[in-house]
A and B are shown apart, each in its own frame.
Chain A
């Protein structure tokens, strides 16, 4: 199953190119150009595995967006994308549950690897949740 990536950055050119490159590597890419737009996309699409989130954005910035995503969609893994000066906020983001951070401009292979790791982590989470649910269901049955 192809990985679905949500690319969030106010730099349209960056998003477009990155989307093409990721698409070429067999990923499903959904583009968003602001934090709010990203939340809207997430609300209408529950297939998104990984969000690549720019830290510095006008309006709702990366950290705020991250908070909102982690609150409503805890399973979605978020990779922070940062310029040099915002490394601290990227680290702050990781403390708040982001998967990792990358520096802009980033190496495509590095990004792919990170996305894959994040996807794997997400899958594990999901499996655990399913296991737990199954256990809960089976245990409930045995009790009855």
Chain B
């Protein structure tokens, strides 16, 4: 018989569990990771583009607002200078009324108005500061304004010591150039930029081309050096909004939206922390990470749990398989032993027959007259009888052995098991009464017929009943109860005795051929193994429960639907 090695050590199951866990994790993680990363990447890009587009639009709008504001203010002053002649302006009272007019018409942005001659001396001034006759000839804006028709200065402190910027218009009265100059209230201008606020960290500010701040900031001053270095070094187109991302300030990763103002002289910069700008995105991402983490945990737990369970199941079935293999080996061993025994028995039968015949022949010769008077005649006769009797005992053993393989009347018939049992009980009753044993039949009615060989069944039950009778001490007496019942397409016959029981050490060996607890010469040790062989052949089961001193129950299971052997 080819018996595959199926006993595995712990390391095997350990490896199996590990492999299963790894495979399950890979199988579950691959799609999870792919989906998570692809969708989050796409979502990330789409969301960022949308947010930036939104800010871009906002910045664009503000750029227009500020440009418009500057243009408007310029236009106002231009109008003033065009409509008034120099003598008209060179009169502080008239200038005062013009300033009031301007304020009234175009809002309170105009702080003061001054008229400056080509030597840089402010000849007339109306406004809150005392700036009459101030010499501006060395001021940069003055030189710039003298060269151009009109000029909008950067924000500076100037003589007054307050941040402001100037709109200056050059005007000619034929011989000399004059400058009409107005100051724009920085605080009010600042409000325009201050309005651009998004989220918590989004802020806008204006710098000139040198990187000097043109607006006041509410909170922490941006690092003008980095702005100069990174943003102003880039080529900023006159139209449209450029987007930069990067960590220009030391602590935060920021996005910058940059556009030009005031004909390219100023740069409007909108800065927002990425964290703030994309806070929704990052929240979603964090949620995603949490879900991913929880999912991973549950995958791990499930993978380990399921693998363990599966491996346990495999281990269990391996053990069952092993057990079954053992039983198959046991059955095979019994079958081959049976064949061997039958072969040997057959071969031994002939020599035994000859020996018995020879002993008989010697007996025949002894009968003759001349030997009858011999002194040892009786002794010869006894010895020959002994030879003959022992030969007959051998014959019994060989004949029982032959039952393993013999095919006596093994014709299969549909029979009522109860009928067979009743017959066997009838046969055994005499012997039972002799052993002070009562046989009780407790047979279920209406059992289906079974497809077996009646004589084989007879042999089985006769054997079991004989064993039961032998197990009961004839002095004490006892009883044998035979009962039949239907259970799962099997007819179960229980043969229960109140005898001495079987010692646990012997319990495993009772079906082994030649195993007997009876005295030498009383039993061959073949009865139960023959029963075992017969029951196994028809696809049944035979099992035993026994308690020493209390008795033994044999359970014989016989299938109702016969299995082909």
Binding site for B on A (CB under 8 A): 11, 13-14, 17-18, 20-21, 24, 56, 83-85, 87-88, 103-106, 108
Contacts and interface: CB of A to CB of B under 8 A. Distances in A.
A102 to B, nearest CB: 11
Nearest to A14: B354
Given A88-B409, A105-B395, A83 B350 contact: yes
B406 A24 contact: no
Interface string B325-366: 000000000000000001001100110111111101100100
Interface residues of B, number: 27
Contacts of A108: 357, 360, 364
Contacts, number: 64
A106 B350 CA distance: 11
B18 interface: no
Given A17-B361, A105-B391, A105-B392, A84 B354 contact: no
Contacts of B352: 105
Contacts of B407: 88
B459 to A, nearest CB: 13
B361 A11 contact: no
Interface string B56-85: 000000000000000000000000000000
Tell me if A's interface is mostly helix, strand, loop or mixed: helix
A88 B411 CA distance: 11
A83 B349 contact: yes
A24 B409 contact: no
A87 B402 CA distance: 11
Interface centre among A18, A20, A104, A105 (most CB of B within 10 A): A105
Contact of A105 (B342, B345, B353): B353
Interface of B: 342, 345-346, 349-350, 352-358, 360-361, 364, 391-392, 395, 398-399, 402-403, 405-409
Given A20-B361, A21-B361, A105-B392, A84 B353 contact: no
The 10 closest A-B pairs by CB, nearest first: A105-B353, A105-B356, A84-B399, A17-B357, A84-B402, A13-B354, A104-B353, A85-B402, A83-B349, A14-B354
Contacts of A14: 350, 353-354, 357
Contacts of A83: 346, 349-350, 402
Contacts of A24: 361, 364
Given A14-B353, A20-B361, A106-B353, 11 more contacts: A14-B357, A17-B354, A17-B358, A21-B361, A56-B346, A83-B402, A85-B402, A103-B399, A105-B357, A105-B395, A108-B360
A16 B548 CA distance: 54
Contacts of A13: 354, 358
Contacts of A20: 361, 364
A84 B409 contact: no
B12 to A, nearest CB: 48
9 contacts: A14-B350, A17-B357, A18-B357, A21-B364, A84-B398, A88-B409, A104-B349, A104-B353, A105-B391
A104 B350 contact: yes
Contact of B405 (A85, A88, A106): A85
B346 A85 contact: yes
B82 to A, nearest CB: 144
A31 to B, nearest CB: 14
Contacts of B342: 85
Contacts of A106: 353
Nearest to B399: A84
Contacts of B398: 84
B360 A21 contact: yes
B369 to A, nearest CB: 14
A123 to B, nearest CB: 26
Nearest to B411: A88
B352 to A, nearest CB: 6
Contacts of B409: 88
Nearest to A83: B349
A85 B404 CA distance: 10
A88 B402 contact: no
Given A17-B361, A105-B392, A105-B395, A85 B353 contact: no
A104 B403 CA distance: 15
A108 B359 CA distance: 11
A20 B346 CA distance: 25
A116 B150 CA distance: 163
Nearest to B349: A83
A13 B360 CA distance: 13
A11 B346 contact: no
Most buried by B among A13, A18, A56, A84: A84
A104 to B, nearest CB: 4
Contacts of B361: 17, 20-21, 24
A88 B352 CA distance: 21
